[in-house]
Structure 1
Amino acid sequence: HAQPASEASGNPQGVLYLKLSAHGTALSRLIISGFGYTRRLLEQLQRGRDWDACGVLQLAFDDKEDQRQAKLAEAFDPTLLQRLNRADAETVAGIGLASGGLFYPEGGWVHPPALCAWQAKHPNIRLLMHHQVLELRKADGQWQAWEGERLLASAPLAVLACAAEIHRFDGCSELPLKRIRGQITRLPATGQSSTLSTVVCAEGYVAPPRLGEHTLGASFDFTATDLTPTAAEHQGNLALLQEISADLAMRLGADQLAPEALEGRAAFRCTSPDYLPIVGPLADQKAFTQAYALLAKDARQQPSTPCPWLEGLYINSGHGSRGLITAPLSGELVAAWADGAPLPLPRAVAEACHPNRFMLRELVRGKRKQGEASQ
Structure 2
Amino acid sequence: WQVSLLERHAAVAQEASGNPQGVLYLKLSAHGTALSQLIVSGFGYTRRLLESLQRGSDWDDCGVLQLAFNAKEAERHGQLAAAFPEDLLQWLEQPEAQARAGVGVAHGGLYYPEGGWVHPPALCQAQAMHANIELLSHHEALELRKVADQWQAFDDERLLASAPVVILAGAAEIKRFAQSAELPLKRIRGQITRLPETADSRALATVVCAEGYVAPARLGEHTLGASFDFNSDDLTPTTAEHQGNLAMLEEISSDLLSRLNISEQPLENLEGRAAYRCTSPDYLPIVGPLADLQTFNQTYAALSKDARQVPDLACPWLDGLYVNSGHGSRGLITAPLSGELLAAWLDNEPLPLPRSVAEACHPNRFALRKLIRGK
TM-score relative to the length of structure 1: 0.97
Residue type of the alignment partner of 2:219:
L
Alignment equivalent of 1:212, drawn from 203, 207, 220:
220
Deviation at 1:253, TM superposition (A): 1.2
Q: What do the CA deviations read for 1:188-245 (whole angstroms, capped 9, x no partner)?
A: 0000000101000000000000000000000000000110000100011011110000
**Residue matched to 2:22:** 14
Which aligned pairs between 1:135-214 and structure 2 lie closer than 5 A? 135-214=143-222
Percent identity of the aligned residues? Answer: 73
Residue type of the alignment partner of 1:99:
H
Q: What do the CA deviations read for 1:62-104 (whole angstroms, capped 9, x no partner)?
A: 1111011010011000110010011101111100001110000
Q: Does 1:233 align with 2:207?
A: no
**Residue matched to 1:365:** 373
Deviation at 1:58, TM superposition (A): 0.1
Residue type of the alignment partner of 2:167:
V
**Residue matched to 1:134:** 142
Alignment equivalent of 2:48, drawn from 30, 35, 40:
40
**Residue matched to 1:51:** 59
Q: C-alpha distance in 1, partners of 2:154/2:12? A: 19
Deviation at 1:171, TM superposition (A): 1.7
Residue type of the alignment partner of 1:107:
G
**Residue matched to 1:66:** 74
Structure 1 residue ranges, 4+ long, deviating more than 3 angstroms after superposition = none
Q: Does 1:105 align with 2:113?
A: yes
SS at match of 2:322: strand
SS at match of 1:314: strand
Deviation at 1:255, TM superposition (A): 2.5
Q: Does 1:326 align with 2:313?
A: no
Q: What do the CA deviations read for 1:153-187 (whole angstroms, capped 9, x no partner)?
A: 11000000000011100121111000000000000
Q: C-alpha distance in 2, partners of 1:138/1:352? A: 28
Alignment equivalent of 2:123, drawn from 111, 115, 123:
115
Deviation at 1:339, TM superposition (A): 2.0
SS at match of 2:136: coil
Deviation at 1:254, TM superposition (A): 2.1
Q: C-alpha distance in 2, partners of 1:257/1:103? A: 32
Residue type of the alignment partner of 2:125:
A
Q: What do the CA deviations read for 1:261-280 (whole angstroms, capped 9, x no partner)?
A: 11110000000000000000
Q: What do the CA deviations read for 1:285-327 (whole angstroms, capped 9, x no partner)?
A: 0000000011001101111000000000000000000000000
Q: C-alpha distance in 2, partners of 1:259/1:220? A: 19
Give the gaps of 5 or more residues in structure 1. 370-375
Q: C-alpha distance in 1, partners of 2:10/2:174? A: 20
Residue type of the alignment partner of 2:251:
E
- Count the aligned residue pairs: 367
Alignment equivalent of 2:312, drawn from 304, 312, 324:
304
Q: C-alpha distance in 2, partners of 1:34/1:17? A: 11
**Residue matched to 1:255:** 263
Range with bigger deviation, 52-61 or 129-138: 129-138
Q: C-alpha distance in 2, partners of 1:152/1:159? A: 15
Give the gaps of 5 or more residues in structure 2. 1-8
